[in-house]
Amino acid sequence: MNRAIEKTGKVTALGAMSGTSLDGVDAAVVITDGHRIDGFGATSYRAYSKAEQAVLRASLGQWSGAAVEAARDVVEQAHLALLEGFEAVDLVGFHGQTLAHAPRTQGTLQVGDGAWLAQALETPVVWDFRSADVDLGGEGAPLAPFFHFACAHHIGATEPLAFLNLGGVGNLTYVDPAFDHPEEPGALLAFDTGPANAPLNDLLQSRLGLAYDEGGKIARRGTVEQGALELFLAEPYFARVPPKSLDRNDFSEMVALVGELSDADAAATLTAMCAAGVAEGMQHCPQLPARILVTGGGRHNPVLMQMLAVSLDCPVGPVEDVGLDGDMLEAQAFAYLAVRVARGLPTSCPGTTGVRAAVGGGTVSWPQAKDIAV
């Protein structure tokens, strides 16, 4: 039997993540038994070219058709080019690229064929992580919280803390490390806080041809338009009790709210909206966490980090403060989740996605063999 699905022992798992910011593919190795983290291994990154990003952007919000197939090809080839550079890996966790996410109506769509990738890499691949959760009434997102729980134990946390991921969409995980297992009631609460980098990146791309606001330089020169911020916070989403999740484009009207502002004022206002969404979300936490650890690209924006520090009532800092890698945390999460799927362990629960019961979603694809739904 392949070591990846033995019931005990360490597995060297490789995870890959292509997020809603559409910047590229992250890949990272985690050594784990599916419960605790025994160590971290090599990491790597492959940026999408401008042409590849254009293909992916053209497919966002679509469920089928030529644009989706074109995006699938980009995603598969980019992942193969990156992942085949890793050696001595037992198992691959392949998230794919989310194009559309509407769990209450149409479901969720991540493109990329894990069975094809397993054949190309000659390595077992775990993929399609979200569908089983959605099928059981869950939001299908966020899925990193079970890994955040393991990280909290790995760093020796003794008080409740929160992980805040600021990618294209913001999501928060409240972790109580007093619990032994992530699926226990009260161990985790997770939800999307609102838009994060996606609206700002889209605005700067369309206006200035820039991928993002490097160092917050543009937002720093601007003034927040309070009227637009108030309209943003009036959105019904913020009053919804979590768990809850968003599609990348659910708040696309944010760009319209700042449409007549200068570049600097628009950037400042969109950045403030991200921070305000997080502040609103903190009201749902069972208690104030001892600290908030920020991961994802947003932590590199000092203007956003300062806005968070001012608006939140607990210490805020990057996950590097506790020895974790904020650029690779999501890729590491899918390496960790892949091992849990292969071993029949849950990857989400009512507190993280609203699913009816703890569930381990995913499909294991083997080279030269049939897929095994788990």
d(CA 314, CA 321): 15
- Determine contact, residues 368/31, Cβ cutoff 8 Å: no
Domain residue ranges in the chain: 3-142+328-373, 156-322
3-state secondary structure of 343: coil
- DSSP strand pairing (11-18 vs 24-32): antiparallel
d(CA 311, CA 147): 27
The upper half-sphere exposure of residue 236, i.e. CA atoms within 13 Å in the direction of its Cβ, equals: 0
Residue 105: what pLDDT? 87
Label residue 92 left, alpha or beta by phi (over 0 means left) and psi (-120 to 50 means alpha). Answer: beta
Residue type (1 letter), 326: G
Distance of CA 149 to the CA centre of its chain: 15
Q: Which residues pair with residue 45 across a beta bridge? A: 26
Q: Is the dihedral of CA 250, 228, 275, 220 positive or negative?
A: positive
3-state secondary structure of 89: coil
Residue 6: what pLDDT? 67
Label residue 190 left, alpha or beta by phi (over 0 means left) and psi (-120 to 50 means alpha). Answer: beta
Identical topology for domains 3-142+328-373 and 156-322:
yes
Residue 1: what pLDDT? 37
Cis peptide bond prior to 289, omega within 30° of 0: no
3-state secondary structure of 51: helix
Element (H, E) at 115: helix 114-121
d(CA 33, CA 171): 26
Q: Which residues pair with residue 40 across a beta bridge? A: 30
Give domain 156-322's CATH architecture: 2-Layer Sandwich (3.30)
What is the per-residue burial (b if ≥16 Cβ within 10 Å, else e) of 254-271?
bbebbeebebbbbbbbbb
The upper half-sphere exposure of residue 177, i.e. CA atoms within 13 Å in the direction of its Cβ, equals: 21
d(CA 296, CA 168): 9
CATH number for the 3-142+328-373 domain, one of 1.10.645.10, 1.10.3720.10, 3.30.420.40, 3.40.50.300? Answer: 3.30.420.40
> Got the DSSP string for 72-92?
HHHHHHHHHHHHTT--S-SEE
- Determine contact, residues 324/40, Cβ cutoff 8 Å: no
3-state secondary structure of 349: coil
> Got the DSSP string for 19-43?
-TT-SEEEEEEEEE-SSSEEEEEEE
- Determine contact, residues 97/56, Cβ cutoff 8 Å: yes
Q: Is the dihedral of CA 338, 341, 345, 349 positive or negative?
A: positive
Q: What is the chain's pLDDT, residue by residue, as a tens digit (374 residues)?
A: 355 566 679 999 999 999 888 899 999 999 999 999 999 999 999 999 999 999 999 999 999 999 999 999 999 999 999 999 999 999 999 999 999 998 888 899 999 999 999 999 999 999 999 999 999 999 999 999 999 999 999 999 999 999 999 988 999 999 999 999 999 999 999 999 999 998 999 999 999 999 899 999 999 999 999 999 999 999 999 999 998 888 777 888 888 899 999 999 999 999 999 999 999 999 999 999 999 999 999 999 999 999 999 999 999 999 999 999 999 999 999 999 999 999 999 999 999 999 999 999 899 999 985 555 55
